[in-house]
Copies of this chain bind each other. A is one copy, B any other.
Amino acid sequence: MAEPASSGPPRGRRRGSPDTRSAILLAARSSFAKHGFAGTTIRGVAGSAGVDAALVHHYFGTKEQVFVAAMQLPFQPGELLPQALAGDPAGVGERLVRLFLGAWDSPDFRAPMLGMLRSAMTGEQGAAMLREFVGAALIGRVADAVGPVDALRVQAAAAQMVGVVILRHVIRLEPLASASVDDVVALIAPSVQRHLLG
Contact code string A151-193 (vs B, CB < 8 Å = 1, else 0): 1110110111111101100111111100100011001101100
**Which of A156, A164, A184 has most B Cβ within 10 Å?**
A156
- In the complex, are the beta carbons of B114 and A173 less than 8 A apart? no
State how many angstroms separate the Cβ of A90 from the closest Cβ of chain B.
18
Residue pair A171, B130 in contact (C-beta under 8 Å): yes
Taking A163-B161, A163-B163, A171-B134 as contacts, is the C-beta distance between A187 and B118 under 8 angstroms? no
Does A141 reach chain B (CB closer than 8 Å)? Answer: no
Contact check, B175 vs A151: say whether CB atoms are below 8 A apart: yes
Residues from chain B with Cβ under 8 Å of A162 in the complex = 162-163, 166-167
Q: Give bound CA distance, A60 to B161, whole Å.
A: 37
Give chain B residues whose Cβ lies under 8 Å from the Cβ of A171. 120, 127, 130-131, 134
CB distance from A157 to the nearest CB of B (A): 9
State whether B117 touches A121 (Cβ < 8 A): yes
> Does A135 lie at the interface of the complex (its beta carbon under 8 Å from any beta carbon of B)?
yes
Binding site of A, secondary structure by majority: helix, strand, loop or mixed?
Answer: helix
- Knowing A118-B122, A121-B118, the reply to whether A167 touches B191 (Cβ < 8 A) is no
In the complex formed, the residue of B with least CB distance to A166 is B162
A120, A160, A175, A188: most-surrounded residue (chain B CB, <10 A): A160
The contact of A160 among B160, B175, B184, by CB within 8 Å, is B160
A95 at the A/B interface (Cβ < 8 Å)? Answer: no
The interface residues of chain B lying within 8 Å CB-to-CB of A166 are 159, 162-163, 166
8 additional A-B residue pairs with CB within 8 Å, beyond A152-B175, A153-B187: A117-B170, A135-B173, A155-B176, A156-B176, A156-B191, A160-B160, A190-B194, A191-B195
